Structure 1
Amino acid sequence: MPHFKQPLYPVYNWIPLHGIMRYEVELMADPPAQPNGTQPDPGRAWSKIVNAATTCYDEYPRPYAGDYYWRVRAIDAEGNAIGTWSDAAHFVVNKHPKRVKVAVLGDSITHGGGSISYPPSALEYSYTTYFDFPCLNLGRSGDTSRMTCDRFEQDVLPFHPQNLLILTGSNGLRTSTISAQDIIDDLAAIEEKCRAHDIRPIFMTLIPINPTNIRFAFHAETDPNWNEKLRLINMWIRSHDCCIDLEPYFYNETGTDLDESFSVDGLHPDIQGKMLMGEIVNASEAHALLK
């Protein structure tokens, strides 16, 4: 991937052991002192126990340049090791210039992943993979628009991007306790923060969702008013001179919901959808600012 940049929030994934659903992940700045042992590394910087078969989402951003090593081990209910630590995997966070040219801010649609079981570490499920220009991914899975706004100072300002692509609010579409105005207010606050720090905000319209598929994938109901919320939010986004309109390309034949061919779970675009998002950005009027 010629333009790949390590996402700000790493995601660690592995092939599980049969019948084991509890794992510990540890992160280090150096290779482990005892490879394939059973004890935690004495120099580890972070660790997390997850009740998940294949994936661990790092709750902390990793903005500092350098080499990182991580590994995983299976554990029982008492925290005892089952077998040994895995081989250590390695990734690099490159040193960034004082100002990156383009970054993208958002929720799990931006962070990456799709088809229910593929995490953000599967690069084909990240729409930034298909950009024809370098872009720093500041997405974080699980964000509401308020959460995205609240982490602006921590996650955006250290990189001081010249251009910030913004796509957040989809989790609020399906949540009845979050109104369209709540999301618009959060987007307006992000815009204000950008203007105050000489960052050009470029909003992308939210794409439709599919309540039937969401119910099947997440066993959760969707706000029946989501269509109207989407209309109001995207109308606000389109009022800006510089925005990228994703919404029209993602509807099914009836023009009501997210087309199933783009998303198995009804919320996160899969490979075809992520490729389309990249193509839309590359073909947009804003593209000249991003190249």
Structure 2
Amino acid sequence: MKTLFGVWVVAVAALGPVLAHGAEPAQPPAVEPDYVAPAASLAPERVQDMQRRLLDWPGLARYREDNARLPPREPGRVVFYGDSITDGWGRVPGTAFFPGKPYVNRGISGQTTAQMLVRFRQDVIALHPEAVVILAGTNDIAGNTGPATQGMIEDNLRSMTQLAQANGIRVVLASVLPASEYPWRPGYRPAGRIRALNRWIEQYAHASGAVYLDYHTAMANAEGGLDARLADDGVHPTPAGYEAMAPLAQQAVDAALVRE
């Protein structure tokens, strides 16, 4: 892993600075090490896993049948849209996903904003929600689908926001949750990039008429990460983490639903 890690840092350094505001130093974009490793060095099962994922790169199959079973429209419907942090909400043992509310979970573990943009029409617009809560970007920073600059992440979030608003859907843009490291990217320190992205998300939310949902301020520790009580692996919330997020999300949804 150390050899591969050194390879990808060199491979993506040419993408240049990440921070648009220049407020603090940041590492270059990360990338999944398998994507830059010599093909012959990869175990067959790793290649097979990548092939499987590429057959449905945006994850359109995940919720297709669930979407078909939903009533076409439902008063107060809100789609929570994101990656594993959303995906686990109500599915991780000990967590509850807004009992009694007509809220729909459309998170997919590991996804980046590029994948989410592709499935946005199927998993958000076609469900005719009154609002969507978008929580995404940490997997882009981790390089799950290739190196991503902040500008690339901004473009995808901007496009999702514009698609929603063009279809009469109110938008809540959530800050990326704190993380000082990723268990699946040893040695990479994402806290600075997360803070920079969150500054842009907040500014764009205000400029676009979306509601900004600030998880980061309420949950970050001194290192810009998550304490074990909130996320035992430093990334994915525990029941206590989701408990901390729930009232913040509900307040943001309430604010969005009263907007014209």
The correspondence for 1:165, drawn from 121, 133, 147, is 133
- The structural deviation recorded for 1:184 is 1.1
CA separation of 1:222 and 1:135: change in aligned 2, threshold 3 A:
farther
The correspondence for 1:184, drawn from 154, 162, 174, is 154
Q: Secondary structure at 1:158's aligned position in 2? A: helix
Provide the rounded CA distance (Å) in 2 between the counterparts of 1:167 and 1:103.
Answer: 11
- The structural deviation recorded for 1:185 is 1.2
**Deviations 1:84-123 (Å, cap 9, x if unpaired)?**
xxxxxxxxx453426763111111110116xxxxxx6346
1:40-189 alignment, distance < 5 Å: 59-61=61-63, 62-64=65-67, 93-97=69-73, 101-112=77-88, 121-122=91-92, 124-125=94-95, 129-130=97-98, 133-175=101-143, 177-189=147-159
- The structural deviation recorded for 1:288 is 4.1
The 4+ residue runs of structure 1 with deviation greater than 3 A are 120-126, 130-133, 288-291
CA separation of 1:231 and 1:288: change in aligned 2, threshold 3 A:
closer
TM-score by length of 1: 0.58
Provide the rounded CA distance (Å) in 2 between the counterparts of 1:269 and 1:94.
Answer: 27
C-alpha RMSD of matched pairs (Å): 2.8
**Deviations 1:59-101 (Å, cap 9, x if unpaired)?**
4322355xxxxxxxxxxxxxxxxxxxxxxxxxxx453426763
The answer as to 2:228 corresponding to 1:260 is yes
Match of 2:170 in 1: 200
CA separation of 1:205 and 1:194: change in aligned 2, threshold 3 A:
same
Provide the rounded CA distance (Å) in 2 between the counterparts of 1:178 and 1:160.
Answer: 30
The answer as to 2:196 corresponding to 1:232 is yes
CA separation of 1:166 and 1:64: change in aligned 2, threshold 3 A:
closer
TM-score by length of 2: 0.65
CA contact (8 A) 1:111 1:138 kept: yes
Structure 2 portions without partners, runs of 5+: 1-51, 53-58
Q: Secondary structure at 1:138's aligned position in 2? A: strand
The correspondence for 2:218, drawn from 229, 238, 249, is 249
- The structural deviation recorded for 1:243 is 1.2
CA separation of 1:63 and 1:169: change in aligned 2, threshold 3 A:
same
189-198 or 269-278: bigger deviation: 189-198
CA contact (8 A) 2:130 2:257 kept: no
Provide the rounded CA distance (Å) in 2 between the counterparts of 1:246 and 1:208.
Answer: 8
Q: Secondary structure at 1:166's aligned position in 2? A: strand
**Deviations 1:229-277 (Å, cap 9, x if unpaired)?**
212211122122321111012222x243222221112211111001111
256-265 or 159-168: bigger deviation: 256-265
CA contact (8 A) 1:100 1:159 kept: no
CA separation of 1:180 and 1:131: change in aligned 2, threshold 3 A:
farther
Identity percentage of aligned residues: 25
Q: Secondary structure at 2:94's aligned position in 1? A: helix
Provide the rounded CA distance (Å) in 2 between the counterparts of 1:210 and 1:227.
Answer: 5
Higher Cα radius of gyration: 1
- How many residues are treated as equivalent by the alignment? 193
CA separation of 1:250 and 1:189: change in aligned 2, threshold 3 A:
same
Match of 1:12 in 2: none
- The structural deviation recorded for 1:132 is 7.0
Structure 1 portions without partners, runs of 5+: 1-49, 51-56, 66-92, 114-119
More helix by percentage: 2
- The structural deviation recorded for 1:168 is 0.9
